[in-house]
Amino acid sequence: MSDNGITEQARIDLGTPELVFEIDGPIAWLTFNRPEARNAMTWAMYDGLARACDWVEQDQQAERVRVLVLKGAGDRAFVAGTDIRQFQTFDSAEDALNYESRMSTVIGRLENVHRPTIALIRGYAVGGGAALALACDIRLCAPDAQFGVPIARTLGNCLSMSTYARLVDLLGPARTKDLIFTARMIGAEEARLAGLANEIVPAEQLESRGRELATTIAGHAPLTIQVTKQAISRLLAHRRPVNADDLILRCYLSEDFKEGVRAFVEKRPPQWQGR
């Protein structure tokens, strides 16, 4: 045990078995642990992710944790979005605004955690999963990685303004529009060329490469890394816009959104009406 109370290896309870949070020396590993659902996010998982970010910043307890690594359980997905079954009860402005507020808060917490973050991506990083990956500092991808925000084809909803901003930060306006308008997926090589992926790594080497990179970063001056991360965040702050509740409500209170959720659950194509 170190003098700050952390053993060399420890598992931290985040309140749900669908997140596995492990400390291994200077690296914290967070695993999205719903492989049977392609690691789709529940409310409890979003809350646990925020708690993990809080934990690594608690100086009395976690000051030697230098890097946070995120990965998905299994080989099919990093995170395949928010669990859409949770949307079946949405019927009010409050439901819509609270959801997007939750997304902005939790993903913003990940984006601004005072440690460098690395996402290890196999398979799908879709919707909310893409938003989580975008909020990380570095993305390492297996050749089968697939990024996408297919909401124009699936649910007929929208993204939080902060997630739109992150897409524009990385892809630019034209590619962001192309990605969302066409509802297509971006493979690993296109993601690397577009700036979404830092490296493509053979699937069987993805975790070891993530550990190698995290260990390298952990061995460097922590204040330099933390200040650099915060400085870049401040430079990009102008793309984190003010209130856009009207846009959120236009989508989430629409008949199209209700139809999109029903169609997804019933495993059929939605019938869009534009209202």
Structural tokens at position 43 = 């409310």
Q: How far apart are CA 88 and CA 251, in angstroms?
A: 15
pLDDT at 1: 39
Q: What pLDDT score does 88 carry?
A: 86
Tens-of-pLDDT digits for all 275 residues of the chain?
A: 343 344 467 899 999 999 999 999 999 999 999 999 999 999 999 999 999 999 998 855 556 899 999 999 999 999 999 998 888 888 888 888 888 888 889 999 999 999 999 999 999 999 999 999 999 999 999 999 999 999 999 999 999 888 999 999 999 999 999 999 999 999 999 999 999 999 999 999 999 999 999 999 999 999 999 999 999 999 888 766 667 889 989 999 999 999 999 999 999 999 999 99
Does any domain span residue 43?
yes
Containing structural domain, residue 21: 9-204+219-266
Looking at the domain assignment, is residue 209 inside a domain? Answer: no
Q: What is the CATH number of the domain that holds 246?
A: 3.90.226.10
**Would you say residue 259 lies in a domain?**
yes
Q: Residues 67, 8: contact at Cβ < 8 Å?
A: no
Tell me how far the alpha carbon of residue 45 is from its chain's centroid: 11
Q: What are phi and psi of 78, to 5 degrees?
A: -70, -70
pTM: 0.91
Burial class (CB in 10 A: 0-12, 13-18, 19+), 224: exposed
Pick the closest to residue 154 from 177, 133, 172, 128 (CA basis): 128
pLDDT 10s digits, 57-71: 885 555 689 999 999
| Assigned domain for 226 exists | yes
In the beta sheet, which residues pair with residue 153? Answer: none
Q: What is the pLDDT of residue 84?
A: 87
The pLDDT of residue 8 is: 62
Contact of 147 with 191, CB cutoff 8 Å: yes
Could you read off the pLDDT of 114-162 as tens digits, one per residue? 999 999 999 999 999 999 999 999 999 999 999 999 999 999 999 988 8
Q: Could you tell me the CA-to-CA distances from 211 to 66, 119, 153, 217, 225 in Å, in that order?
A: 12, 11, 36, 10, 17
Is residue 250 assigned to a domain?
A: yes
Domain count, the chain: 1
**Is residue 210 assigned to a domain?**
no
Helix (H, G, I), strand (E, B) or coil at 233: helix
The answer to whether residue 272 is domain-embedded is no
The token pair that represents 98 in the structure block: 């609270």
The pLDDT of residue 63 is 64
Which long-range contacts does 127-130 make (Cβ < 8 Å, 24+ apart)? 127/80, 127/81, 127/82, 127/151, 128/41, 128/79, 128/81, 128/82, 128/103, 129/39, 129/41, 129/72, 129/77, 129/78, 129/79, 129/80, 129/81, 130/81
Residue 30 lies in a domain: yes
Tell me the three state secondary structure of residue 62.
helix
Round to whole Å and give the CA distance between 105 and 51: 12
